[in-house]
Structure 1
Amino acid sequence: MAVEVVYRSSRDPERLFMDKAEADRHDRMLELAEALASTLQQAVPGLAEEQAEELGVFMARHREVFARAFKNQPEALGELHSTPA
């Protein structure tokens, strides 16, 4: 019988990972998404909670692209147009 070690995301218990570092990255991404969603809802009071969450996750998943765009490379956002949702 083989023993397999799996890691569970503390913020998304349904997700299992074979690598602890990958599970940690996923948790950090979800933490960032939550902070972004909260900030977006404060900035845009009419924004629905579900929409804010979706935007937060999208921005957190593509944070490298957004970071480049905020560092005077707005053309980096063009990469998001070719990325599937």
Structure 2
Amino acid sequence: MYYPFFLAYILTGLFIGVAVFVWALKTGQFADQQRARFLAMEETTHQTVPSAKAGRDIYCLFFLALAAIGASFALVGYALFFR
């Protein structure tokens, strides 16, 4: 009944997750593991960056998040009401 919609939803998420993982491997995001294990123990103080006005990138990310939530609700609504 509802299985094709939820399987499509799960497979899409799985595909995106695998794509991000492959991207991280190719760009060397996991390359410096020796340094990474000691980062939590460093006592460096960072200077605070003055806050800037929100740019277009923040609004674009907000729109994408709302679109993803809307698509999720639309998929669940379609699965529940159009059997």
* TM-score bracket for the superposition, by shorter chain length: 0.3 to 0.5
TM-score, normalised with respect to structure 2: 0.35
TM-score, normalised with respect to structure 1: 0.34
Higher gyration radius (CA): 2
More helix by share: 2
Higher relative CO (Cα under 8 Å, sequence separation at least 6) belongs to: 2
More strand by share: 1
